[in-house]
Structure 1
Amino acid sequence: MDVAMVFASDVDATGNALSSARGERRTVAIAFADIVGYSTLMAADEDGTYRRWMDLLHGLIEPATQRCGGRIVDVLGDGVLGAFQNPANAVTWARAIQRGIRADVEAAGSVDPVPVVLRIGIHVGDVFESNSQIFGDAVNFAARLQCHAAPGGIVISERVLDALDASARVDFRDLGYVELKGFDKRARLFASETELVRFTVPIQAVAGLPSLAVLPLLDQSGDADDAHFADGFAEDVGMSLAGLHELFVVSPASSAIFRGREADPREVGRALGVRYALLGRMRRMSQGYSISLQLCDTYSGAMLWGDRVRIGIGEIFDLQDEVARKSAMLLAPQVRFAELRRAMRKPPESQTAYDRMLRALYTIGSADYDTFERARSYLAEAMVEEPEFALPVAWAARWHSVRIGRGWSQDPDDDAAQALQLAARATRIDRANALALATMGHMNTMLRRDSDAALQCFSEALAACPNHPLVWTLSSATLAYLGNGEEAVRRAEQGLRLSPHDPMRYSQLMFLGIAHYASGSFDEAVRWQRRALAENPLHGATLLLLAAALAATGSREDARQVAARFMAVRPGFSLETYSRTRLPFFAPGLREAFASHLKEAGLPN
């Protein structure tokens, strides 16, 4: 328990002062309250925290106590102790305190960046009073309650609820029976969590990027080596997420203040100013280790996503990087989805550049032409609002490339020029942005036909963010076109592993099919192109590649049927023009084979 506060009425029913006789037994209402995250606040700003606590104590708590007929029995650093004559007075006092704190935080012109927030627990029972202090089992019971309250909330025992009239019970909800430390029997508790205090001014990241703290794993094994892994894991996940440039990730040094203890997500948000927190714990098992992770919203405390990873004994350090990468890549889409839901609820005038970019990502994977076209307007708005924000610029370049690939471009040369221009602009804005570098690499391959420049971009992208799925996927295509099919397959598979639920999954599957074609595994190429086609039946590039792969396997009739579907989508296609301007393979043997397979499929010259 961080701190406690107990209040006992110093006036009895007839208005006489409570007796100060040594050891006198009385029934009083006891209220414990503690400061949420006191140790964290003191570690961050000892002088400021003490000053704010004293201001709250003398300016709000003491006057409210006097008005409600109670007295402060003791002040214990991060809380106070006392008792009231009856539960109704104690609850009235608790509500006055929480409303007062909230009013101060929300007051116009408030300058307190990290307000002191209390949790309050109230019980009623018999106590002994001696030398102005109170003792007894009821005091110990009351001291266990406030840890079950939300920050800014109140928890009461069943005895207190029974003593309240109907109107005072309305906003208390039943928490059921809970375990209390030091007590054999579970206790039924009730909570009031309405109008919670807003804990802190959130981090204002560039372009409205969502903010996240990755906390050290809570090590439940007690082994020193495991503790090192718990800290290192958090640092690795944080670095992987930061490398995506889609999140503002708080430094591991700041998150380390939560090392070794289980933190309330709302406390994390309040202490670090972040919107999201990744919490986890590590437990030793007979056959290895179990790591459980939770992504939480620090405003509501709600869990948005969870995952569990098991590692065998002896593998813990060998697999640290792999597990961290997997966790980071699973986590990023969850934050993106949560932010998208928030962005969809915002009026247009309140949306940030990041909000608009998310809306574009939501629509860019659509198989509907009009929906796809809207993505470009969202990206244009984002670029106007934040001209130095590289992500929407890079995605705009990718949009033009996808538009060409789908056969929706009215002027492929103009889209190609815009894709190159935007990709170059994105890399100028942020040379360490993996998405921008990968997009520029792909444009160098497909439009400039400069594989050396492309490979250099992909190398820089992987150095900037080794876990970006699009870097692995797009680089696989360049390697396939160069004839390095084996490495192309490996990279395409890695891209799939890193983003198993990608909104443009059809594209990932298509590139894996290209890699297998380049390696000479034509049956595998057919399998993966069919899977890509199932995700997006009208994607022209996939139909073309499937037709070639089927012809390569000798399935000429199937190849001709797919080629006919392709021509329905691309009625103006000419094999001669395509071979001269768009055929992607660099390796002479592959170029000739691919053109020959397309011809066998029946595509017109």
Structure 2
Amino acid sequence: MLKSSQPPIVVGDRIVDLARETLRDGRGDVVPLRPRAWAVLRLLATRAGELVDKDEIMDEVWSDCEVTEDSLVQAIGDIRRALGDAGRSALKTVPRRGYMLVVDEKPSGDLVISGNTPRPSAVGEMTAPSTPRLSIMVLPFANIGGDPAQDYFVDGVTESLTTDLSRIAGSFVIARNTAFTFKGKAVNVRQIGRELNVRYVLEGSMQRGGNRFRLNAQLTDAETGSHVWAERFDKPAGDLLDMQDEIVSRLANTLNAELINAEARRAERSPRPDAMDLYFQGRACINKGVTRTFMAQARDFFMRALALDPGNVEAAVAAAQIDVSVGSAFLTDDSSVHFEAAEAALNKVLLHAPNHPRAHMLLGAVQMQSMRASRGIAECRQALLLDPNLADAHGFIGLGKFLLGRGEEVEEHIQEALRLSPRDTRAYLWYMFVGLGKLSISADHEAVDWFRRSIEFNRNHALSHFHFAAALALLGELKEARAAAAAGLVLDPSFTIRRYRTDARVDNPVYLAKRIRFYEGMRLAEVPEG
């Protein structure tokens, strides 16, 4: 603990008052900082002029919970903004190593450092530390089967889920050591929320009956006590470790989507949304589908988020995803412009956050569609090393195999994605990828089934309709094929076979030869030639 006699230090026009545990401006007013961001600043300030390793900062500041490096990047962004004009020059980043705070001389004796009252907000309210957005406590799951031998399995699910939820971008997860102090106790969710400063509490129970396992889980809003989401998983008992991995992956992926939706709903009610509020609204918009309208709305949210917080890694990655999606869906005549923009943005992100799984995955998606399919697959495999639950990376690997002319290999990768996240918001794309693979090997009936599943899951993706139309037409189902093409044109009136043909993105002769059937099917379905 810092002693009260420790003198304050000056950073530009800000004062890091270590004795009073506050950041102040030249008038002595408190500049609000979230508790973790303040802890990072305090550590850097006590070692001003010295490079502090990022791992050391993580160990010191987040010792009681499990988070990704993105939490540190977000805290650094908060500090830079709080330091005002001096933020970028005073807080130095040494890529892949750590951070250094460069300070001015210590303040003179007549410098005003007074007052302990938080600074009023624009509407006259006092600023108080806010509850982190994606903050969650995973209570130990209950073993209700009465078999003590199953305790280790139930505890293993709790521990693994705690670790995997910490991989969700921007999440704050209470460490398992704290969580397990509540094992076997009656709990008040709202009290836990107040004491641990978390927004959500996840509870669950497991029961084994014969050769089946049943798991019940529910997510509760700790502020209101209302249920956000609940689900039951019922499956045959197999290899316990494999089953534990599957249960945890499915829960983590489902919770990721549910938490984004919950945060987006909160953000809609905010009269003054900040960067993360806008980010969550953009993510919720992406989940609706790939149309010009949804992409434009999502891009607007992310651009506004970046205007408020230029260092927001999640908003930068999500903005790059818009370019990837627009290019991948053939929504413009020159997708290369969007892929180039996405690649530049993602490389910039990875310079500062080299272990960001989604950034690696999206970079792989760009490479696959820019004549570098094998390299893109490798990038997606790197993303899976960083986050084994990233089901979408398996989906993109399947796309990569299709672009290499290996359509018969696509389905196995999509089945792995579906195993990890069977109701993923992106599953409609994965279904389409399998359909493409099937169509490329002339398994047209199977292709139709997969394209139909894609459209039933999410109708807001024109490219799925056009591929569905092509497959139906090749089977002679011309009436349904033309209806499918018409549905696609409602979503993307500018789509033409010419655009699809000239923007093939791959120079693999095997792939290009197989693609000729796609053009033939689209013509039969009366997709405009262009």
Interval containing the TM-score (normalised by the shorter chain)? 0.5 to 0.7
Deviation at 1:211, TM superposition (A): 0.6
Asked whether 1:525 is paired with 2:444, we answer: no
Q: Larger C-alpha radius of gyration, 1 or 2?
A: 1
2:345 corresponds in structure 1 to 422
Distance in 1, matches of 2:193 and 2:222, equals 5
> Contact 1:390–1:433 (CA<8 Å) still a contact in 2?
no
* Deviation (angstroms), 1:445: 1.0
TM-score, with length taken from structure 1? 0.59
Instruction: Specify the alignment match of 1:36 in structure 2.
Output: none
Could you tell me how far 1:570 is from its partner in structure 2?
A: 5.5
CA distance in 1, matches of 2:290, 2:434: 20
Q: 2 CA distance for matches of 1:330 and 1:476?
A: 21
**For 1:5-56, what per-residue CA distance to the aligned partner results, in whole angstroms no more than 9, with x for missing partners?**
xxxxxxxxxxxxxxxxxxxxxxxxxxxxxxxxxxxxxxx99xxxxxxxxxxx
CA contact (8 A) 1:556 1:601 kept: no
Other structure's SS at 2:206 match: strand
Match of 2:199 among 275, 284, 289: 275
Tell me how far apart the structure 1 counterparts of residues 334 and 139 of structure 2 sit (CA, whole Å).
Answer: 49
Structure 1 pair 344/556, CA: closer, same or farther in 2 (3 Å)? closer
Give the conservation status (yes or no) of the 8 Å contact 2:290–2:329. no
Aligned pair in 2 of structure 1 residues 429, 560: CA closer, same or farther (>3 Å)?
Answer: same
Q: Are the structure 2 counterparts of residues 267 and 584 from structure 1 closer, same or farther at C-alpha, using a change threshold of 3 Å?
A: same
- TM-superposed CA distance for 1:483, in Å, is 3.1
Q: 2:224 aligns with which of 256, 278, 300?
A: 300
TM-score by length of 2: 0.67
Between the aligned partners of 2:165 and 2:396, the Cα distance in structure 1 is: 20
Task: From the superposition, tell whether residues 319 and 554 of structure 1 become closer, same or farther in structure 2 (CA, over 3 Å).
Answer: same
Cα displacement (A) at 1:504: 4.9
Residues 202 and 511 of structure 1: is their aligned pair in 2 closer, same or farther, counting only changes over 3 Å? Answer: same
Per the TM alignment, residue 276 of structure 1 is displaced from its structure 2 partner at its CA by: 0.8
Consecutive unaligned residues in structure 2, runs of 5 or more: 1-62, 65-115, 119-127
Aligned residue identity for 1:227: D
Measure how far apart 1:410 and its partner are: 7.0
1:443 corresponds to 2:366: yes
- Residue 291 (structure 2) pairs with residue 382 (structure 1): no
Residue 380 of structure 2: aligned partner: 458
Asked if the contact 2:253/2:424 (under 8 Å) is kept, the reply is no
Q: Distance in 2 between matches of 1:222 and 1:430?
A: 46
Query: Matches of 1:278 and 1:375 in 2, distance apart?
Result: 29
Shift in Å, 1:424: 2.1
CA contact (8 A) 1:296 1:303 kept: yes
Question: How many residues are aligned here?
Answer: 402
**Equivalent position SS for 1:439:** helix
Contact 2:327 2:336 (C-alpha < 8 Å) held by counterparts: no
1:508 is the counterpart of 2:430: yes
Structure 1 counterpart of 2:395, from 473, 482, 487 = 473
- Return the letter of the residue paired with 1:473: G
- Post-superposition shift, 1:457? 1.0
**Helix, strand or coil for the counterpart of 1:291?**
strand
Question: Is the CA contact 1:241–1:328 (under 8 Å) kept in the aligned structure 2?
Answer: yes
Aligned ranges for residues 398-417 of structure 1 at < 5 Å? Answer: 398-409=321-332, 412-417=335-340
- Counterparts of 1:549-588 in structure 2, within 5 Å, are 549-550=471-472, 552-553=474-475, 569=492, 573=496, 575=498, 578-580=500-502, 582-584=503-505, 587-588=508-509
Alignment of 1:168-207 (within 5 A): 203-204=131-132
Q: Which amino acid aligns with 1:450?
A: R
| Corresponding letter in the other structure for 2:214 | S
Contact 1:556 1:600 in 2 (8 A): no
Structure 1 CA distance for aligned equivalents of residues 460 and 199 of structure 2: 39
Kindly indicate whether the alpha-carbon contact (under 8 Å) linking 2:135 and 2:172 is maintained by their aligned counterparts in 1: yes
Q: Which runs of 5+ in 1 are unaligned?
A: 1-43, 46-107, 111-199
Percent identical pairs in the alignment equals 25
Partner of 1:321: 245
Q: Cα distance 1:491–1:386, how it changes in 2: closer, same or farther (>3 A)?
A: farther
SS at match of 2:166: helix
Partners of 1:458 and 1:436 lie apart in 2 by 9
Residue number in structure 1 paired with 2:357: 434
- For residue 390 of structure 1, report the CA deviation from its aligned partner: 2.4
Partner of 1:358: 280
Distance in 2, Cα, partners of 1:466 & 1:302: 31
1:589 to 2:495 alignment: no
| Matched residue type, 1:583 | A
SS at match of 2:158: helix
2:159 alignment partner, one of 208, 212, 235: 235
